[in-house]
Structure 1
Amino acid sequence: MNKYLVFPGNNAKPLLKPLLDKRGNWGEVDCIEMKLQFVWKPEQLTVKECLQLDGIGNKYGISPIHNHLDNHKEITTKTGLVKSLRAYYTSSEQALLNSYQMHDSIPTSFIIAAQVEDFEYQSLLKRFHDLENLHSNKERTPVKHCLKNMWLIKPAALNQGKGIEICKNIKEIVRSLRSKPMNSQWLVQKYIEKPLLLNGRKFDIRVWALVTGKKEVFYYNKGYIRTSSVNYDLEGKDNYIHLTNNCLQQFGDMYGVFEKGNTLSYDQFQSYLDKEFTEYKVSMQEHFVPRIKDLIIDTYLSSKKQLHKSKKTNVFELLGYDFLIDEDFRVWLIEVNTNPYLGVPNEYIEDLLPNMLDDLLDITVDSIYPPLISRTRTINDFELIYCENGSAFSKEGKAVNKRQNFNTNIYPILVLSQLPLCKQCIAHRYEEDLPKSVQKDLLQLFKQMLENDSNLELSDYLEITEKILYQLIISNQSPPEHCSNAIEALRILVSSNRVMAICESKNLKKLIGILNQDFTYDSVKRSLLEILIQASKITSIRKLLAHSGFIEVLVYNSLQTSDNNIRDACVFGLITLSSNPDKGIYVPGKSQDIKYVKEKMINHGGLVCLLHFSLLSDMKFKNQILELFETDVSIDDWKRLIRVINDNINGFGDFPFVLGETKLNIALAEIENIINNKLIDINRKKILQKKQKEDETRKAIEMEENMKKLEEEKKHKLEIYLKKKSQELKKRKIEMIKLTKLEKDNTEKQLQEKRLAIIMKKRIEEKKNSSLRKSAIDDRDHKRLENARKKLNEKNRKKLLREWLRFKCQIEKSILRQQSKQRLKSDINKILSSFKEKSRDNSISRSAIFNQEKAFPRYSSQKLLGKTFVKEPTQKIRRPSLFTSSKINFYSKSFTEIKFNNNIHF
């Protein structure tokens, strides 16, 4: 049984063949269509049959490995990527708290169905016209990238730069969309007009990422830079200027002129950055790579559920990410590609690709099919950036997520940070509309900001929160109404979804500093305590408060203040921080935060303070404290608290000084009582549980005995009942047998009668059919004979008619001949008689008689002698056909004395 590898693309085969030969356990490498599978191939099957069979692993003991995740088009198509990121950022709690949106990762994009003017299409038109005036309340792209207002039209599912169009006005966009097939999907995306240039030419970064079926994401540390072969010019429409895909650039006239294969390594790119931007000290690894990893993790998490829908483990996907860097060093995600280009344009890629594929096989294949020959390379350049618990590539199998916090600035060089166009419009509007005295109208400004919350970021709220806190810091120097407005603004902020603006580290330190100030008004302290306690109901904020020293503030103020309201607020805050709303149920992330806060409560005196107040008889929250001790504080927590108290008594703890030794000793004694009581309760519960179990077992035994008795009685009754039933059934069976015999006889008779009837019907029908066939044959033969007879009669009739016509014509011709002969005879006789009469007259000569026209009243000489008689000498006279020799002789005697011209001939 040989092992076969099936891999897509002709360029992958020569790269993979030597790598597999080195491993020594692969028999053949074959390229088939666009599928990839590593399979053990049975000898009786071909590779194609292996790919087509379902359940081949169960039948032949094969463990196939697939190179395509299910539904990878959720991120590898342009429209799918936009939809996935849009859904992810709108549902992520951290992204919402930090106002992070989809268009902070990718340029502004609209998914348009060709020739369909829906809401998305109308939104595109509105955004385009807003950008023409450089005034848009929703545009996240900075102004510098919107000056020319250029857009790209990209097909949904094509790669390698195919089908991309660059549009400079709305007419071009509308015309292009109307020319596409109806309802076809297209991505209309804002063009980044100010990219970072490499020697005056545009470039992008190609990065490889590996996703496995075990929900692991790997980032490959070595990629390459793809450059354009033509200088960058916004006015140019040539795709060789704007698109850097190798598959497109290789057909250009300038391909390979500046860089061999139009590609550079990270080191070459870093040397260019060091040379051109020395003042900013830009580093590829420090400033670009962390942001690239963030965007890779975001794209994976946005489609994780769809990618792993079939729950396959032996599956992976090699993805090619394309990133663009603008002139402010901000990283933009362009697209994600499946089946990334594995061509070899230069020596650097020729060395890089085999190493990358070797590392890929080491992660995806060697763990399932161990190689016979160990790898020569000991380093794997794939870095794990995300995984869940149980991964073999993480330390101790723990979960890994190297995604930075969403509040991290997307500009690596803070000096070059650009404001989004929407923020500039809002800031400008506030400057025009609001009064100049900002301190007096903080509350009004804050309310207006909340109304336009969709267009603002967390940084906007951080700025105004700082102003509000500054107003509280100087509360003893400002009017009371300013302080009350600031507190009201904080209350509104806590009740909104922008509460994280308070919990930012700087703002928390300022708040705790205000609470620690001795000259702060009690009313202000009370209000701030209520605000922070309300915020602490959110688990993630509770952890931040505990980390910032809020527990020490509550302990100090509860024991030092003379105001009962402040003391009650502090005690309520300690109860809120200590309580577990999930009641022992483990929730990933949330339970860890609660555990962290409980440890802080123990280590910083919060639990000791609650214990102190539980001993007071006039305490308002005494019952709640005792209930908290019963439900949320275990014996292990009390024992740990004893150790912490002893450390503080010895001077090694973090308790506030207000918790003196006397209070701590009282607390120790009380804790011992609590532990003893809990142990007694536990023992009592155990004894009760034992008694309950014994009672339950005894009751169960009694129940079993009763059930057995009942079952025996039921069995006895059933036996009697069954006997009766069996007797009745026997009787019924005998009767049924008799009835069935009669019915059978009747049915057999009926069947025989039916059979005879059917046979008779068939015979009658056969006779009818035979008679009909005979009659039909006779009719057909009679018709044939009749038709033949008619044809013969018609033929004879036509023949007789032809003969009759021919005979009739002959008769008519003979009659006409006789008539013409008689007519000619009579005419000649008349002429001759006239000649005779005239010849008697001596005064007229015969020649004169012949020349006179009056002598021939009806027939001219031409008619007499023939049709061809003429007087000219050149013409001839044809002999009359009607004259016979006897007639001519007769007529010649009559014309003996007539003289003719010598030229006339008969």
Structure 2
Amino acid sequence: MSEENSSTIINDSSGETKRRTNPRKRSVRKRRSLYIEPKPVCFIGQGNNAELIEEILKSIGYENRPDKVDEYKFKWVQCSYEVNWNLFKDGEQIVNHIQGEDYFTNKLQLYQSLQTYENTSQTIIKRPPTYLSLNEYLPQTFKLDEKHDRDILFNLHKPGDVWICKPSCLNQGKGIYIVRDISSLKDKYDQLEANPRSRSSTFRQQNKTIVQRYIMNPLLIHGKKFDIRCYMLISSVQPLLVHYHSGYIRLSMLLSVEGILSLKVRLFPLKYMQKKDPKYYEMKEDTAWTMEQFNDYMNKYILPKKKLPPNWVLEVLPKQIERIMLNVIESIRMRLKRRIGCFGLYGYDFMIDDDLKVLLIEINVNPALSTNTNTLVQAIPPVVKESILISIECFEKIHHAEKIFPLKSLQTFQCIYNELERKSSLPLIRQKRQLSPSKATITNTDDKALREKTNFFYSVDRTQLNQQENELLSTLHRSLTHSQLMRTSKSVNDIHQVQIQRRPLTRPKSIRSRSKSSNRIKPNEPAQSS
């Protein structure tokens, strides 16, 4: 029934026209549900300002349920091992950790990832424009659990050199110690080598340590040492989306005077270490600066002396930090497990030397979120809230197959890596002319092995092809020799060709049926006598 015929016009005694509705017509207004739609459930782990996370999630409609350890829509915890990855539901749940993040948040694995990326990139002529060699952004580093690295360190050491030893799995400056006398370090590891217990894998895993050259000429703020805490947000791993935030400045309470024995106190301006000082609560407001304050200081005291234009902090420094972050991402992007719903907020620590060289110190998987100074109140809560909103928006758009960009939640973060638009900076090697003539070429034995491997790939189904491709891409980043790199890249190309050319195959006739048809006597054809 049309809307015009659904009512009747009548005139009452007063001459006014009234409309009488048809009682058979259904009401247009929808009836409300008898039950209130439940709020999405979140689980928030304790510690590291969990109240801030709960406040943010409640403001966007989530309900915190401490009993829902695995039955949640959103989960925020401090460590990755607090997530039951076997029960995690891809595309249905959101969690603030990524499987494989240890490859860049663990100090030793970060160095190994960057070292492998550099070795692999050196075999490629056309390197990405963001590529940096290790000595451009990382202090000289050695692995103390490897004898080869220790021997290089002991031979390289000169009187007056200072080294910093860092346990690979600790943060907040825990376990760090200074080495001035290299002979004491050598004696320590000689004794460990002689101890049979030190040969066990468990002991080696617990005692993995890196040693870095101490930065002797750091840039100072009013005579105090400082570092930069900025943030990297991976809002999605499938596709891989990475964002950068400039963060804030952390200052030391003590003057950096040469010859002070308490070097550990002024090693890093960390709140964890400075809180032990009795004067901390009197001076805590001076231990954190905004980037605008740092920019004003540089414009007034540092840049004129170096004859550099103003606003170096706002214009040049972010580009250098972003470039370092991109090198980190390129070194580990193949090792991240691609699961929809995983994101991560990571704290990057940088230092600047007197020549304005930006150096990466470490990357934290669980950056401190406490807000005990006015600067931190201004800096940290907006960063955390925006990172959560961006990650949820990316998740919802991916879940509903919508276009991800533009992101409405993107305010102060800047997207520096978009896998949807970016080509790999480690291109697959298809032709020998892409390689340096001085490098080795593939041998006949390698070709034979490659053909056998390719024939095997043709015989497996599509799922197995994808698994083999992931393994080969992981091998690509671990390849240290040129021939290995060539074989791995060529094999990945062959897999791509298989996936492109693969078509549904019709069932072939059996040999027996073909033999019968071939022996069948055609009409008007005499039979052959035996």
TM-score category (smaller protein)? 0.5 to 0.7
What is the Cα deviation at residue 382 of structure 1? Answer: 1.7
Using the alignment, how far apart are the partners of 1:107 and 1:362 within structure 2? 35
- Deviations, residues 711-736 of structure 1 (Å, cap 9, x unaligned): 9989xxxxxxxxxxxxxxxxxxxxxx
Q: How does 1:400-415 map to 2 (within 5 A)?
A: none
User: Which of residues 190, 196, 208 in structure 1 aligns to 2:219?
Assistant: 196
The one-letter code sitting in structure 2 at the alignment partner of 1:341 is A
The one-letter code sitting in structure 1 at the alignment partner of 2:162 is M
Task: Name the TM-score, length of structure 2 as normaliser.
Answer: 0.62
Q: Which residue pairs with 1:3 in the alignment?
A: 40
| C-alpha distance 83-31 of structure 1, shift in aligned 2 (>3 A) | farther
Q: Secondary structure at the match of 2:348?
A: strand
Residues 70 and 87, structure 2, Cα contact 8 Å, conserved in 1: no
Q: Which residue pairs with 2:383 in the alignment?
A: 356
What is the Cα deviation at residue 258 of structure 1? Answer: 4.8
1:107 aligns with 2:139: yes
- Deviations, residues 55-75 of structure 1 (Å, cap 9, x unaligned): 4649xxx81122221121111
User: Which of residues 164, 177, 182 in structure 1 aligns to 2:176?
Assistant: 164
Query: Gapped runs of 5+ residues in structure 2?
Result: 1-37, 76-81, 199-203, 398-407, 426-435, 440-489, 497-512, 522-530
Higher helix proportion: 1
| C-alpha distance 119-400 of structure 1, shift in aligned 2 (>3 A) | closer
Q: Which residue pairs with 1:23 in the alignment?
A: 60
Residues 13 and 31, structure 1, Cα contact 8 Å, conserved in 2: no
User: Which of residues 302, 316, 320 in structure 2 aligns to 1:277?
Assistant: 302
Q: Which residue pairs with 1:39 in the alignment?
A: 73
What is the Cα deviation at residue 112 of structure 1? Answer: 0.8
Higher strand proportion: 2
| C-alpha distance 367-106 of structure 1, shift in aligned 2 (>3 A) | closer
Residues 203 and 226, structure 1, Cα contact 8 Å, conserved in 2: yes
| C-alpha distance 73-267 of structure 1, shift in aligned 2 (>3 A) | same
| C-alpha distance 165-708 of structure 1, shift in aligned 2 (>3 A) | closer
Using the alignment, how far apart are the partners of 1:399 and 1:354 within structure 2? 31
The one-letter code sitting in structure 1 at the alignment partner of 2:43 is V
- Deviations, residues 568-627 of structure 1 (Å, cap 9, x unaligned): xxxxxxxxxxxxxx9xx99x9xxxxxxxxxxxxxxxxxxxxxxxxxxxxxxxxxxxxxxx
Using the alignment, how far apart are the partners of 2:130 and 2:119 within structure 1? 11
User: Which of residues 230, 233, 253 in structure 1 aligns to 2:278?
Assistant: 253
User: Which of residues 356, 362, 382 in structure 1 aligns to 2:413?
Assistant: 382
User: Which of residues 108, 114, 121 in structure 2 aligns to 1:79?
Assistant: 108
Query: Gapped runs of 5+ residues in structure 1?
Result: 42-49, 133-147, 371-376, 390-397, 404-493, 498-581, 589-705, 715-906
Residues 144 and 208, structure 2, Cα contact 8 Å, conserved in 1: yes
Instruction: Say what the alpha-carbon RMSD is for the aligned residues.
Output: 3.9
- Deviations, residues 60-118 of structure 1 (Å, cap 9, x unaligned): xx8112222112111111111111111101111356999953222211111012xx7x2
Residues 230 and 347, structure 2, Cα contact 8 Å, conserved in 1: yes
Task: Name the TM-score, length of structure 1 as normaliser.
Answer: 0.37
Residues 208 and 223, structure 1, Cα contact 8 Å, conserved in 2: yes
Aligned length: 371
The one-letter code sitting in structure 1 at the alignment partner of 2:143 is I
What is the Cα deviation at residue 286 of structure 1? Answer: 2.0
| C-alpha distance 339-53 of structure 1, shift in aligned 2 (>3 A) | closer
Using the alignment, how far apart are the partners of 1:284 and 1:227 within structure 2? 16
What is the Cα deviation at residue 5 of structure 1? Answer: 1.7
Q: Secondary structure at the match of 2:100?
A: coil
Using the alignment, how far apart are the partners of 1:216 and 1:191 within structure 2? 34
| C-alpha distance 215-336 of structure 1, shift in aligned 2 (>3 A) | farther
What is the Cα deviation at residue 351 of structure 1? Answer: 2.8
The one-letter code sitting in structure 1 at the alignment partner of 2:342 is V
Q: Secondary structure at the match of 1:366?
A: helix
| C-alpha distance 299-249 of structure 1, shift in aligned 2 (>3 A) | same
- Deviations, residues 781-826 of structure 1 (Å, cap 9, x unaligned): xxxxxxxxxxxxxxxxxxxxxxxxxxxxxxxxxxxxxxxxxxxxxx
| C-alpha distance 55-158 of structure 1, shift in aligned 2 (>3 A) | closer
Using the alignment, how far apart are the partners of 1:66 and 1:378 within structure 2? 18
Using the alignment, how far apart are the partners of 1:354 and 1:274 within structure 2? 28
User: Which of residues 276, 287, 291 in structure 2 aligns to 1:262?
Assistant: 287
Q: Which residue pairs with 1:229 in the alignment?
A: 253
| C-alpha distance 52-216 of structure 1, shift in aligned 2 (>3 A) | closer
| C-alpha distance 176-96 of structure 1, shift in aligned 2 (>3 A) | farther
| C-alpha distance 157-220 of structure 1, shift in aligned 2 (>3 A) | same
Residues 79 and 111, structure 1, Cα contact 8 Å, conserved in 2: yes
Q: How does 1:54-203 map to 2 (within 5 A)?
A: 54-55=86-87, 57=89, 63-92=92-121, 93=124, 94=126, 101-113=133-145, 118-129=147-158, 132=159, 148-174=160-186, 177=189, 182=198, 183=204, 184-203=207-226
- Deviations, residues 508-545 of structure 1 (Å, cap 9, x unaligned): xxxxxxxxxxxxxxxxxxxxxxxxxxxxxxxxxxxxxx
User: Which of residues 229, 233, 236 in structure 2 aligns to 1:206?
Assistant: 229
Q: How does 1:594-605 map to 2 (within 5 A)?
A: none
- Deviations, residues 195-238 of structure 1 (Å, cap 9, x unaligned): 00011010000011012212534333340111111111232232
Using the alignment, how far apart are the partners of 2:104 and 2:244 within structure 1? 19
Q: Which residue pairs with 2:352 in the alignment?
A: 325
Q: How does 1:291-306 map to 2 (within 5 A)?
A: 291-306=320-335
What is the Cα deviation at residue 2 of structure 1? Answer: 4.8
Residues 196 and 326, structure 1, Cα contact 8 Å, conserved in 2: yes
Residues 256 and 262, structure 1, Cα contact 8 Å, conserved in 2: no
Q: How does 1:316-715 map to 2 (within 5 A)?
A: 316-368=343-395, 380-389=411-420, 398-399=421-422, 710=517
What is the Cα deviation at residue 334 of structure 1? Answer: 0.5
1:313 aligns with 2:337: no
Using the alignment, how far apart are the partners of 2:130 and 2:342 within structure 1? 35
What is the Cα deviation at residue 254 of structure 1? Answer: 3.5
What is the Cα deviation at residue 709 of structure 1? Answer: 8.9
Using the alignment, how far apart are the partners of 1:298 and 1:221 within structure 2? 16
Bigger relative CO (Cα 8 Å, ≥ 6 apart): 2
Residues 43 and 74, structure 2, Cα contact 8 Å, conserved in 1: no
- Deviations, residues 489-509 of structure 1 (Å, cap 9, x unaligned): xxxxx9558xxxxxxxxxxxx
- Deviations, residues 156-200 of structure 1 (Å, cap 9, x unaligned): 110000011112221343356568783321111100100000110
Using the alignment, how far apart are the partners of 1:162 and 1:31 within structure 2? 32
Using the alignment, how far apart are the partners of 1:12 and 1:400 within structure 2? 38
Residues 387 and 400, structure 1, Cα contact 8 Å, conserved in 2: no
Using the alignment, how far apart are the partners of 2:248 and 2:144 within structure 1? 32
State the structure with more CA Rg: 1
The one-letter code sitting in structure 2 at the alignment partner of 1:383 is Q
The one-letter code sitting in structure 1 at the alignment partner of 2:299 is D
Using the alignment, how far apart are the partners of 1:12 and 1:98 within structure 2? 35
Residues 229 and 256, structure 1, Cα contact 8 Å, conserved in 2: no
